[in-house]
């Protein structure tokens, strides 16, 4: 139990385009999901907390207009990187909370050319 999926696994896009990443909890409902970012050889940094039916809470320094989060149902949260630029290239990982524990998706590798 406690499986989280992400789609796509990897994406390459041109500078200026928008990219949507989906995060799904497959065998449990999650009122709270989280989005993290990880640069090579570094740790995970929390970007935002996604709450079903309400606005996301963003961490300090994260541009909410650039990283749009929608938690439309108890099993789906989406992250849209708008007008992506090369500096947005990174590994994006979501997690979903079941009871008190977080379970992580496999990640999405974004490359912006």
**Which residues are at the interface with another protein (CB under 8 A)?**
2, 32, 34, 38, 43-46, 49, 91, 93, 95, 97, 100-104, 106-107, 109
Compute the least distance from the CB of residue 16 to another protein, in Å: 26
Which residues partner with 72 through β-bridges?
A: none
Nearer to another protein, 54 or 100 (CB): 100
DSSP one-letter string for 45-65 = EEEEEEETTS--EEPTT--TT
Compute the least distance from the CB of residue 83 to another protein, in Å: 25
Cα 99 to Cα 82: distance, rounded to the nearest angstrom: 32
Under DSSP, is residue 86 helix (H, G, I), strand (E, B) or coil? helix
Compute the least distance from the CB of residue 77 to another protein, in Å: 15
Residue in 30, 28, 18 with CA at minimum distance from that of residue 77: 30
Nearer to another protein, 19 or 35 (CB): 35
The separation between CA 18 and the C-alpha centre of its own chain, rounded to angstroms, equals 14
Nearer to another protein, 28 or 91 (CB): 91
Nearer to another protein, 17 or 59 (CB): 59
């Amino acid at each position: 139990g406690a499986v989280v999926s992400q789609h796509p696994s990897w994406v390459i896009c041109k500078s200026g385009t928008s990219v949507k990443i989906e995060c799904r909890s497959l065998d449990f409902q999650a009122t709270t999901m989280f989005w993290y970012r990880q640069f090579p050889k570094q740790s995970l940094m929390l970007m935002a907390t996604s709450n079903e039916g309400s606005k996301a809470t963003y961490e300090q320094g994260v541009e909410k207009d650039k990283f749009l989060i929608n938690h439309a149902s108890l099993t789906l949260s989406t992250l849209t990187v708008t007008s992506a630029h090369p500096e947005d290239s990174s590994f994006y990982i979501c997690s979903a909370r079941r009871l008190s524990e977080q379970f992580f998706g496999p990640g999405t590798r974004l490359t912006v050319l």
